[in-house]
Amino acid sequence: MRRVFNKAVPAPHVAGRQTAASDVSVPARAAAASSEIALQPGSSTTDAFRTIAGGLVGLIAAQQSAVLNRDPTGVHQMRIALRQTRVAITIFADLAHGPEAERLKRELKWLTGRLGPARDLHLMDLRLQDTGAVGSAAFRKRVAADRASAFDTASRTVANKRFGKLLGDLRAWIEAGDWAQTSKDVPDSAKTFAKRALTHRAGRLIKKLDGLDELDDEQRHQVRIAAKKLYYATGFFESLFDGPKAGKRLAKFRKHLKKLLDALGALNDTVVQRELASRPANRSRQPKADAAAARELAAADDAITRKQMKAAVKAAAKLADDRLFGD
């Protein structure tokens, strides 16, 4: 069974275009192939890490042209691949650790941060379009201008030599295998490693979900991060558990986890957009009117919060009832 993480978004320009600033070229076929990452039955833990991490670097590279051309979907897909790569290095930390691993994680976090405002402001701009006459024309214009500026930043970032160096360093580090540490704590079998890692993280998440509806925004955000890491990790190893019993359990667990993430993601979006709405209002020549617009959006958020919190609590209960491997 092949596991598809995220389909590479076709770039607006011809695939395979050489970008001078970053010295990264992604042939069309290579970009398409990189969107499929599967582990072979009987894979070793070392081979599993190489396959997963190498495939994810391909996913990052495949979105470069789209981000250069300020495509919102490309920005979103690259951010997902960047986060997945950091999670992969973290999941395999007992095997792949050291100063270079930590440096690469910092660089991945830097790049993710450079793309973040574009995604957040794009969603904010879409919401303002959906809600119609919220805020003055000047207020909506400033949000659109902030969005455009954020996409310019994202485009410049992937044209920067630092981006190309990061991809090159990641590939070299993965292929060299100098990160492979000899440790009694790392089983040779990828399936054994995966079951242990997933069971541990699932148990920790379920404990954090206790009293979910009583958490504040930041605490809930931390739960969302933990859930997202687990969701990515289950995706990495899904092809190893394709038997009728284990495969069904994993698929069911991932379904509940996805519903939890959808609800927590919607809750997080309301928090982010509330903050974003206050920024152009503070710069407005009509501060009272645009502050009122920000409050109007916040009032709409209250209804969303109630609905999504109910969905999150329901998904959390199902995760607790349907354990990952039935243990």
Domain parsing of the chain, residue ranges: 1-179, 189-327
Same fold, 1-179 and 189-327: yes
Q: Looking at this protein, which amino acid is placed at residue 115?
A: L
**In this predicted structure, what is the pLDDT of residue 230?**
96
Is the pLDDT higher at 274 or at 258?
258
**In this predicted structure, what is the pLDDT of residue 168?**
98
Asked whether residue 324 carries a pLDDT value surpassing 60, the answer given is yes
Task: Kindly indicate the confidence band of residue 216, based on its pLDDT and cuts at 50, 70 and 90.
Answer: very high
What is the pLDDT averaged over residues 101-115?
97
**In this predicted structure, what is the pLDDT of residue 37?**
81
For the segment 154-213, what is each residue's pLDDT rounded down to a tens digit? 999 999 999 999 999 999 999 987 777 656 688 999 999 999 999 999 999 999 999 999
Asked whether residue 27 carries a pLDDT value surpassing 50, the answer given is no
Average pLDDT over the chain reads: 83
Task: Kindly indicate the confidence band of residue 135, based on its pLDDT and cuts at 50, 70 and 90.
Answer: low
Residue ranges of the alpha helices (H) in the chain? 28-33, 45-62, 64-68, 72-91, 99-131, 137-159, 161-176, 190-208, 217-237, 244-282, 287-321
> What top-level class would CATH report for the domain 1-179?
mainly alpha
Task: Kindly indicate the confidence band of residue 73, based on its pLDDT and cuts at 50, 70 and 90.
Answer: very high
* CA distance linking residue 18 with residue 32, whole number of Å: 17
Q: Which long-range contacts (CB under 8 A, 24 or more apart) does 181-186 make?
A: 181/94, 181/95, 181/96, 181/97, 181/98, 183/94, 183/95, 185/94, 186/45, 186/94, 186/95
Q: Which long-range contacts (CB under 8 A, 24 or more apart) does 187-193 make?
A: 187/45, 188/44, 188/45, 189/42, 189/44, 189/45, 190/39, 190/43, 190/44, 190/45, 190/47, 190/48, 190/237, 190/240, 191/43, 191/237, 191/240, 191/241, 193/45, 193/48
* CA distance linking residue 199 with residue 325, whole number of Å: 8
**In this predicted structure, what is the pLDDT of residue 49?**
95
What is the pLDDT averaged over residues 98-103?
92
What is the pLDDT averaged over residues 238-254?
89
Task: Kindly indicate the confidence band of residue 276, based on its pLDDT and cuts at 50, 70 and 90.
Answer: confident
Task: Kindly indicate the confidence band of residue 34, based on its pLDDT and cuts at 50, 70 and 90.
Answer: very low
**In this predicted structure, what is the pLDDT of residue 295?**
64
* CA distance linking residue 175 with residue 212, whole number of Å: 41
Looking at the domain 189-327, which fold is it? CHAD domain (1.40.20)
**pLDDT winner (highest mean) among 1-10, 51-60, 128-137, 296-305:** 51-60
Is the pLDDT higher at 128 or at 90?
90
